[in-house]
Amino acid sequence: MPQRSNIWVNIDWITVGLYLLLIFMGWLNIYAAVYDLEHQSILDVSQRYGKQLIWIGAALAIAVVIMIIETNFYVFFSYILYAVTIFLLILVLLIGREINGAQSWFVIGGVQIQPAEFAKFATGLALARYMSTFDFNLRKIKSLIIIASIIFIPAILILLQNDTGSALVYFSFVLVLFREGLSGIVLFLGTLVAILFVLTLILPNFTLILLLLGITLFMYLILNPKLIQFLRVALVFAVAIGLAFILNLILGLEFGQAEMITAGSLLGVLVVTVYSLQKRFRNYLIISLFFIVSVLFTFSVDYAFDNFLEPHQQVRINELLGIESNPYGAGYHVNQSKIAIGSGGMWGKGYLNGTQTKYNFVPEQDTDFIFCTVGEEWGFAGTSIVIALFIFLFIRLIYLAERQRSVFSRIYGYSVAVILFFHFAVNIGMTIGIMPVIGIPLPFFSYGGSSLWSFTILLFIFIRLDASRLENFRDSRNT
Residue range 424-474, pLDDT digits in tens: 999 998 888 777 777 789 999 998 888 999 999 999 999 999 998 877 555
For the chain, the average pLDDT equals 83
pLDDT at res. 420: 96
Cα dihedral sign, 137-138-139-140: positive
In order, the DSSP letters of 303-369 are: HHHHHTS-HHHHHHHHHHHTS---TTTTTHHHHHHHHHHHHTTTT-S-TT--HHHHTT-STTTTTTT
Cα dihedral sign, 423-428-429-433: positive
Longest dimension (CA), the chain: 85
pLDDT at res. 25: 94
pLDDT at res. 14: 95
Residue range 351-399, pLDDT digits in tens: 888 777 666 667 677 788 888 889 989 999 999 999 999 999 999 999 9
Cα separation, 15 vs 13, in Å, equals 5
In which band, very low, low, confident or very high, does the pLDDT at 47 lie, cut at 50, 70 and 90? confident
pLDDT at res. 67: 93
Cα separation, 469 vs 49, in Å, equals 37
Dihedral through CA 379, CA 383, CA 386, CA 390, nearest 10? 180
Dihedral through CA 467, CA 62, CA 56, CA 111, nearest 10? 150
Q: Which residue has the higher pLDDT, 291 or 475?
A: 291
Q: Which residue has the higher pLDDT, 306 or 373?
A: 373
Cα dihedral sign, 273-275-280-283: negative
Cα separation, 67 vs 87, in Å, equals 26
Residue range 14-23, pLDDT digits in tens: 999 999 999 9
Q: Region 247-270: what's the mean pLDDT?
A: 78
pLDDT at res. 309: 67
Q: Which residue has the higher pLDDT, 232 or 378?
A: 378
pLDDT at res. 107: 84
Query: Which segment, 110-119, 230-239, 349-358, is predicted with the most confidence on average?
Result: 110-119
Q: Region 212-226: what's the mean pLDDT?
A: 76
Above 50 in pLDDT, residue 194? Answer: yes
Cα dihedral sign, 394-400-402-408: negative
In which band, very low, low, confident or very high, does the pLDDT at 319 lie, cut at 50, 70 and 90? low
pLDDT at res. 69: 92
Cα separation, 331 vs 318, in Å, equals 10
pLDDT at res. 326: 56
In which band, very low, low, confident or very high, does the pLDDT at 225 lie, cut at 50, 70 and 90? low
78-92, 342-356, 463-477: range with lowest mean pLDDT:
463-477
**By C-alpha distance, which of 163, 184, 54 is closest to 103?**
163
Share of the chain above pLDDT 70, in %: 86
Cα separation, 440 vs 404, in Å, equals 30
Residue range 120-135, pLDDT digits in tens: 999 999 999 999 887 7
Q: Report whether 12 contacts 400 (CB < 8 A).
A: yes
- Backbone φ and ψ for 105, nearest 5 degrees, come out as -125, 140
In which band, very low, low, confident or very high, does the pLDDT at 221 lie, cut at 50, 70 and 90? confident
| pTM for this entry | 0.79
In which band, very low, low, confident or very high, does the pLDDT at 224 lie, cut at 50, 70 and 90? low
Question: Cβ contacts of residue 87 below 8 Å, gap of 6+?
Answer: none
In which band, very low, low, confident or very high, does the pLDDT at 87 lie, cut at 50, 70 and 90? very high
Classify 162 in phi/psi space as left (phi over 0), alpha (psi -120 to 50) or beta.
Answer: left
pLDDT at res. 2: 45
Cα separation, 288 vs 341, in Å, equals 48
pLDDT at res. 360: 66
- Vertex 269, ends 265 and 274: CA angle to 5°? 150
102-111, 284-293, 341-350: range with lowest mean pLDDT:
284-293
Query: Helix, strand, or coil here: 384?
Result: helix
Cα separation, 100 vs 162, in Å, equals 10
Cα separation, 390 vs 384, in Å, equals 10
